[in-house]
Chains A and B, each alone.
Chain A
């Protein structure tokens, strides 16, 4: 049972570089989410999707873009990485909206921007 898989697990970027984080889930969940976790801040929602082809902004969307072309995949892009985007990024999915159902998390991508 793979659940939610995030790729890559670690990455170091230079300021200004771009990259895409991939999230894949095999539970046929409708809802998917991208969070970032910083020390002392808890998890903050970046973007989310309520179904294939949809995306919506969360609490901290600036500097990020997302796409949900396939139901099982949710991509998070950084167009021009900044040191402030150094963080641990988590993807999650749920069958129904996050307030009514448990969210299932991947193990995170640790991203450092130099």
Chain B
């Protein structure tokens, strides 16, 4: 079963717009990670946010975490065509060895 579920499943925006995708999870976590996957490639780690953090930034990325709602959001500001990819959240229930990935949000940024 999936620990994390992303929403929406697919998102299409124009270059320069902001893109927001959400992740909900089921059990308590120590941290939550976001990954990007370009077509035909492996996943690339974007950002890790710990359970005691509410917000974290990395370049054009902003991640929030609400442990009371068991949810996280990833905001990409001023999107570019190169941001076209699938985005996954990942958690490890109970802080164990194993990450569980959601089914991803497919983002398409059009020129």
Contact = CB atoms under 8 A, between A and B. Distances in A.
Given A43-B101, A105-B44, A100 B88 contact: no
Interface string A40-61: 1111010010100000101100
Nearest to B89: A42
28 contacts: A41-B103, A42-B101, A43-B43, A45-B99, A45-B100, A48-B98, A50-B97, A59-B98, A90-B42, A92-B43, A97-B92, A97-B97, A98-B92, A99-B29, A99-B30, A99-B95, A99-B97, A99-B99, A102-B33, A102-B45, A102-B48, A104-B45, A105-B42, A105-B43, A105-B44, A106-B42, A107-B41, A108-B42
Nearest to A45: B98
Contacts, number: 67
A99 B102 CA distance: 15
Interface string B84-111: 0000100110011111111110000000
B18 interface: no
A-B complex: 8 closest residue pairs judged by Cβ atoms: A99-B92, A105-B42, A102-B45, A42-B103, A43-B101, A98-B99, A97-B97, A105-B43
B88 A43 contact: yes
Nearest to B29: A99
Which of B31, B99, B100, B103 counts the most chain A CB atoms within 10 A? Answer: B99
Contacts of A105: 42-44
Given A40-B103, A42-B2, A43-B101, A100 B42 contact: no
Interface residues of A, number: 28
Interface of A: 4, 31, 33, 35, 40-43, 45, 48, 50, 56, 58-59, 90, 92, 97-108
A58 B103 CA distance: 17
A13 to B, nearest CB: 20
B87 to A, nearest CB: 12
A60 to B, nearest CB: 12
B10 to A, nearest CB: 12
A31 B44 CA distance: 17
A111 to B, nearest CB: 14
